[in-house]
A and B are shown apart, each in its own frame.
Chain A
Amino acid sequence: MRAPTGPEVAVGDVLLSVENVSLAFGGVKAVSDVSFDIRKGEIRAIIGPNGAGKTSMLNVINGFYHPQDGRITFKGQTRGQMRPHDAAYGGIARTFQNVALFRGMTALDNIMTGRSLRMRRGFIWQLLRHGPALREEVEHRHRVEEIIDFLKIQEIRRVPVGRLPYGLQKRVELGRALAMEPELLLLDEPMAGMNIEEKEDMSRFILDVNDYYGTTIALIEHDMGVVMDLSDRVVVLDHGIKIADGTPDEVKNDKTVIDAYLGVAH
């Protein structure tokens, strides 16, 4: 896999920057004064022990949570609050820690929903299934089939996703996010609960997405081997505070990080 190199991989401009973001639920501080950035074309890992605020951070980025403090700048636009569908329009796609698919729909329809943002024809045309609307549907279907080929899930595309094994559900979920042709892809533990073989497949897909589509990726992952292999830069959170930020090698040897993971007498 990719050798953990330094700045020459992450050469792009800043795509998203998080500045001094704080988020609290009542009295519980989930994220305190965290700043970091994600550069165009890189794979950025967010790691940390359980309860470090990683998922909260992703939820802030795609607008599920509104931080009490701080600023987020995406593609040069700063915003305080944003709603999830605005994030989706802006080019942020995501997957979830415990798979959120449309269980009653087939894999194909699930991935098609990722295209719905890009469909422009009014529903009257779509009802008639005629003319421009039909052309549009065919065009989108074509893109979706490409993604299905890419993820090697051809044989399950007509299966309602509720019936698929977990590993494949995760793959369909990735497909749905890819169908949005996002600029920034947020992956929340894409390999949780997978066996080694499935993890290897998923790692391959993530690298390929990054290479072929040039998609910037931010991922949360617990498997340190995976994180070290995949990511260009790593940010480490603990108890909602950023404790380290750098290349995998730098982070791996950082004393605070080791303490956070292994525990230290306070």
Chain B
Amino acid sequence: MHLLYQIFIDPFVQMGTAPDLLVQTLWEGLVAGVLYSLIALGFVLIFKASGVFNFAQGIMVVFAALALVGFYQHGVPAFLALGLTVVVMLLLAFAVERLILRPLVNQPDIILFMATFGLTYFLIGFGELIFGGDPKVMISSQLGLPSGSYQIKMLGGFVQLQKIDIAAAIIASLMVAVLAIFFQKTRIGRALRAVADSHRAALSVGISLEQIWVIVWFAAGIVALATGIMWGARSNVSFALEIIALKALPVLILGGFTSIPGAIVGGIIIGVGEKIGEFYWGPLFGSGIEDWLAYVIALVFLLFRPQGLFGERIIERI
């Protein structure tokens, strides 16, 4: 009886009695969620255009952040370093297309998936070789990102909003908006969707697969860079960041592998769900549930909508 009370009543009583804490938790969940969304977005872009589940998306985040900091440490001014990192991501996209995708064209998806594993470990090794394995500090202030926080008095308490989190939310939303319009409204966007549907047909109308792949990998690289900056600004830049990429999995299950809005909403649900779960129900399990709660949410969700929130409905004609 007491347990039931602890599970079903007590957390809500707490939410009611300290609404400022609830708002704070929601906000933190939202910010984490936005970053999950960004990572998931990188996966969705590549999956949509090439049907490849890019396991290396996580390490691309780390790699981009490391390159940025690395350039800066070698005396390159911050914004120039940012520009150079964009160039690095473009080169990476070209290299991936040339050395991985092109030789493996028409191979089963699982082979391409395994190839992205290879890419992951290559990038880890290559990154450590160039930038070293020690954690680095993101150059957020040099890039003009705000630090410090606002304290807002509300609901009989304080809510603290980190400025960097607000910036992250704004940048992420802009990025998503631009990508969504890009996919829906432009010739290249239409070509991307075409490639996602049928390689053969896309080739026959004169869409160059090579070009499209470079574009999506580059777009995913830019998304990775943004994620790397935002995440790096909150903790350090190190290879440990790669773990957060695994958080994108439950987000994708929730949102559907092919949907950009799905990645956003999924990310936010997972982020908020995690923080709320940890804060209010965590103590019941001795805390630390943040690490696995996302997967549980995704599993429960799978039972009801296997195709995800916005995933394409699977209709099988028999």
Contacts and interface: CB of A to CB of B under 8 A. Distances in A.
Contacts of A205: none
Given A102-B193, A102-B194, A173-B201, 18 more contacts: A62-B204, A84-B206, A85-B209, A88-B203, A88-B205, A88-B206, A94-B204, A95-B204, A100-B200, A100-B204, A103-B198, A105-B193, A109-B190, A113-B190, A113-B202, A113-B205, A121-B187, A123-B186
A126 interface: yes
B193 A104 contact: yes
- In this complex, the member of B187, B191, B207 whose beta carbon has the largest number of chain A beta carbons within 10 angstroms is B187
Given A64-B203, A96-B200, A105-B197, A126 B208 contact: no
A116 B190 contact: yes
Contacts of B208: 83, 85
A97 B198 CA distance: 14
A101 B203 contact: no
Contacts of A176: 201, 205
Given A100-B198, A104-B193, A105-B197, A84 B203 contact: yes
A85 B207 contact: yes
A162 B189 CA distance: 20
B197 A102 contact: yes
Interface string A50-80: 0000000000001010000000000000000
Nearest to B197: A102
B237 to A, nearest CB: 31
Contacts of A62: 204
Interface of B: 178, 181-182, 185-191, 193-194, 196-198, 200-209, 312, 315
Interface centre among B193, B201, B202 (most CB of A within 10 A): B201
Interface in A152-168: 162
A117 B197 contact: no
Contacts of B186: 123, 126-127
Given A100-B198, A102-B194, A129 B204 contact: no
Give the interface SS of chain B, mostly helix, strand, loop or mixed. helix
B178 A127 contact: yes
A184 interface: no
Nearest to A112: B190
A94 B203 CA distance: 10
6 contacts: A100-B201, A102-B194, A116-B205, A123-B186, A126-B187, A177-B204
Contacts of A114: 205
A89 interface: yes
Instruction: Kindly state the interface size class of chain A when it binds its partner.
Output: 35 or more
Contacts of B196: 104
Contacts of A123: 182, 186-189
B191 A113 contact: yes
A93 interface: yes
A103 B197 contact: yes
Interface string A109-148: 1001110110101010011010000000000000000000
Which of A64, A84, A89, A93 neighbours the largest number of chain B CB atoms within 10 Å of its CB? Answer: A84
A180 interface: yes
A121 B188 CA distance: 11
Nearest to B312: A104
Contacts of B200: 64, 96, 100
A154 to B, nearest CB: 21
B181 A127 contact: yes
A173 B201 CA distance: 9
For B193, B204, B206, which residue has the most chain A Cβ atoms within 10 angstroms? B204
A202 B256 CA distance: 39
A84 B181 contact: no
A129 B198 contact: no
Contacts of B198: 100-103
Interface centre among A96, A113, A180 (most CB of B within 10 A): A113
A22 to B, nearest CB: 22
B185 A119 contact: no
Contact of A93 (B188, B189, B191, B205): B205
A121 B205 CA distance: 18
Interface string A219-258: 0000000000000000000000000000000000000000
Interface in A170-223: 173, 176-177, 180
Residue among A95, A105, A126 with max Cβ neighbours from chain B (10 Å): A126
Nearest to A121: B187
Contacts of B209: 85
Contacts of B190: 109, 112-113, 116
A116 B182 contact: no
A113 B178 contact: no
